[in-house]
C-alpha cells in the first residue's frame, strides 16, 4: 500500500516538474501543429500560432506568413466574386439589348401588320438527341399562347427571321412549360413553295438537325440545289414568305415515281437556339 502511495506521489511530482519545463510547451506546440495539419481551420491555426514560440522564431514567422496568405486569399476571393457579379450584370444587359433589338426588327418587318410578337427565352430542350432536335420549351406565360402559334429564330448570317416551328398541343399534367415543335422534328410538316419557281411542296422533318425532306414536287420541277424554300400561303399555321432553308440534294427519279423528292438544309440553328419570337394574331 505504501509502495503505491509513494509511486503515485513520485509520478505527481514528476508531472509537475515536466509541466513547468520547456519540454511541456514544446509538446503542446507540436500537438497544436499536428491538429492544424489534420484540421486546417482558422481556430486550429490560431491555437498553433499561440504555441509556436515554444518551437522557435522560425515557426512563429511561418504561421505569420500563413495568416498573411490567408488574408490575401480572402481579399482575392472577394475581388473574384465582385468580378463575377459584374460579368453577370454585363451579360444580362447584353441579353436584354439583344431581345429588344430582335423585338424591334419584328415590329419593323412585314409581319407587324397582322401579327403581334413576343420574344421568349428557351428554358428546356428535353433529354437526349431526339428531344434536342424536336422541341424547345419556354416557361408558361401569364397569357398562354394559342395552339400552333408560329415561332421564329433570328438568322444572323442573313439578318432575317426564319421559321423555327409551332406551338404543339399541351399534354395533360404540363404545368410549367409550353413546348414548340421544331421544323427538324419528325412530327413536323408544312406547306412550302420554292422562292424562284413558286412550285408547291410539302416539307417534313426527319429528326436530324441538318436535313428535311421536300416531297410532292412536280416531275417537271425546275428545282435546283441552292433554291430557297419559303412557307406557303396554303399553310393554315404559318404566314407566307418565311424562309425555311435551301435545297442541298435532289433525289434521282425512278420510273415508278409520280413526284420528285429533294432534301433541304434548314436555316434553323439548333446550336444557337436560345430565344424564340412567337407570333400572335392581332385579335389574340
Q: What is the mean pLDDT of residues 13-18?
A: 48
By DSSP bridging, strand 260-266 and strand 243-250 are antiparallel
Q: Which of 86-95, 109-118, 138-147, 163-172 has the highest mean pLDDT?
A: 163-172
Predicted pLDDT of residue 53: 56
Average predicted confidence (pLDDT) for the chain: 77
Continuous segment of H or E residues that includes residue 163? strand 160-167
pLDDT band for 21, please (50, 70, 90 cuts): very low
Checking if the pLDDT of 18 tops 50, the result is: no
Distance separating alpha carbons of residues 279 and 116, to the nearest angstrom:
6
> What is the percentage of the chain residues whose pLDDT exceeds 90?
22
Classify residue 228 by burial, with Cβ atoms within 10 Å: 0-12, 13-18, 19+.
Answer: middle
Check: CB of residue 162 under 8 Å from CB of residue 183.
no
Predicted pLDDT of residue 44: 64
Within 10 angstroms of residue 169's Cβ, the number of other Cβ atoms is 10
Query: Quick one: DSSP state of residue 70?
Result: H
Contact partners, residue 69, CB within 8 Å, separation at least 6: none
Continuous segment of H or E residues that includes residue 75? helix 57-108
Check: CB of residue 250 under 8 Å from CB of residue 262.
yes
Checking if the pLDDT of 258 tops 80, the result is: yes
Place of cell 428535353: 126
DSSP three-state, residue 215: strand
More confident residue, 45 or 121: 121
Lowest mean pLDDT among 7-16, 206-215, 272-281: 7-16
Amino acid at each position: 500500500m505504501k509502495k503505491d502511495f509513494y509511486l503515485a506521489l513520485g509520478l505527481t511530482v514528476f508531472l509537475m516538474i515536466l509541466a513547468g519545463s520547456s519540454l511541456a510547451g514544446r509538446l503542446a506546440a507540436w500537438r497544436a501543429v499536428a491538429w492544424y495539419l489534420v484540421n486546417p481551420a482558422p481556430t486550429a491555426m490560431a491555437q498553433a500560432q499561440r504555441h509556436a514560440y515554444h518551437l522557435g522564431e522560425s515557426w512563429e514567422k511561418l504561421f505569420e506568413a500563413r495568416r498573411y496568405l490567408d488574408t490575401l486569399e480572402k481579399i482575392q476571393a472577394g475581388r473574384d466574386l465582385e468580378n463575377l457579379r459584374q460579368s453577370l450584370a454585363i451579360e444580362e444587359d447584353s441579353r436584354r439589348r439583344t431581345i429588344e433589338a430582335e423585338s424591334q426588327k419584328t415590329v419593323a418587318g412585314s409581319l407587324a401588320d397582322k401579327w403581334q410578337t413576343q420574344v421568349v427565352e428557351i428554358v428546356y430542350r428535353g433529354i437526349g438527341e431526339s428531344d434536342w432536335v424536336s422541341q424547345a420549351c419556354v416557361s408558361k406565360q401569364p397569357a398562354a399562347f394559342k395552339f400552333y402559334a408560329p415561332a421564329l429564330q433570328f438568322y444572323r448570317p442573313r439578318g432575317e427571321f426564319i421559321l423555327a416551328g409551332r406551338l404543339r398541343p399541351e399534354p395533360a399534367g404540363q404545368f410549367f412549360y409550353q413546348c414548340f415543335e421544331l421544323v427538324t422534328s419528325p412530327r413536323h410538316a408544312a406547306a412550302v413553295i420554292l422562292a424562284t419557281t413558286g412550285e408547291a411542296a410539302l416539307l417534313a422533318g426527319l429528326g436530324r438537325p441538318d436535313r428535311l425532306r421536300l416531297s410532292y414536287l412536280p416531275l417537271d420541277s425546275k428545282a435546283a440545289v441552292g433554291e430557297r424554300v419559303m412557307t406557303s400561303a396554303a399553310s393554315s399555321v404559318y404566314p407566307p414568305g418565311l424562309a425555311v432553308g435551301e435545297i442541298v440534294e435532289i433525289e434521282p427519279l425512278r420510273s415508278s415515281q409520280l413526284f420528285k423528292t429533294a432534301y433541304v438544309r434548314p436555316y434553323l440553328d439548333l446550336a444557337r437556339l436560345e430565344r424564340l419570337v412567337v407570333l400572335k394574331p392581332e385579335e389574340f
